[in-house]
Amino acid sequence: MGVSRDLRYAARFARDEALMLLLLLLICLLGYRLRRSRGGWVCFVVAFALFEATCCGPLPAWLLTRLQAPYATRPMVTWEPRNAIVVLGVGTSRVVATGEVGPTVFAGGRLAEGYTLYRQCKQSGNDCKLIVSGGDPFRNGVTEAKAYGDVLLGMGVDRSDLMLETRSMNTWQNAQFVQPMLKAYAPQRVILVTAAVHMRRSQMYFTHFGIDALPVRADYEDARLTLFPNGWNLALTEASLHEYLGVLTYYMYNALGWNAPPSRYGAP
């Protein structure tokens, strides 16, 4: 089947992890160079403690809990006559041998949750649209929406119920470009599906564009408490800090007037 490029998505995390590790090492080096002074030893000890807390699990566990806890329990969904289930993209990967482009390994939970909700909605006898949002940020030649949509069609989603948003390159644009699709369809219930670690920021952006969505998490990450440094813990720390930075950036841009004005797409 060839070698998949799922690692292309992971490369972003690896890059950021490497930068974090380099920063920690530079702090340690500074502490070592200044070790004869009290300030140097303090710097060295703090850097080492931060490295251990990050790579051995306590720090990412704390960060993840604060991000994910509100979404730990999946809500009971009361289906309305018209419903929209929005699934956010998380990247694509290309199979080198065949050139085939499909969902990245990280997309499985979102696809499964989106399909499960769609089937529940259809079984309730109500009208249901499944909106997949995602452009082609990795330049694989196929949008996330198209790649995920093909999988969902194969799982049994009716083509007439599938709506693809193919322009967005980030979470902000997910919300921005899904809004007019929801305005046209006018659902009475909107459900937002993404990873628990990503939900706080996603829901914030969707609310900014007037979309009152019920959050349903697709997956839930947990850190591994280990005696020795663990790369997975480092990746989770980076992912968590990325979300906190996104929230902080949102508030900062609002204060500076750089965000688009808050809006509503109209009563659902």
DSSP string covering 12-25: HHHHHHHHHHHHHH
* Residue given tokens 């710097």 in the structure block: 43
The per-residue pLDDT for 47 is 72
At 254 the pLDDT is 92
Q: Are 260 and 81 in contact (CB under 8 A)?
A: no
Predicted confidence at residue 45, as pLDDT, reads 73
Nearest partner of 224 among 60, 20, 52, judged by Cα: 60
Q: What is the pTM of this model?
A: 0.85
Model pLDDT, residue 207: 96
Query: Domain segments of the chain: what residues?
Result: 77-221
CATH of domain 77-221: 3.40.50.620
Note the pLDDT of residue 134. 97
* Residue 41: per-residue pLDDT: 65
Please give the pLDDT value at position 11.
Answer: 43
User: CA neighbours within 13 Å on the CB side: how many for 257?
Assistant: 0
The four Cα atoms 8, 191, 220, 136 give a dihedral, to 10 degrees, of 0
Give the pLDDT score at 8: 41
Residues of the chain with confidence (pLDDT) below 50: 1-14, 267-268
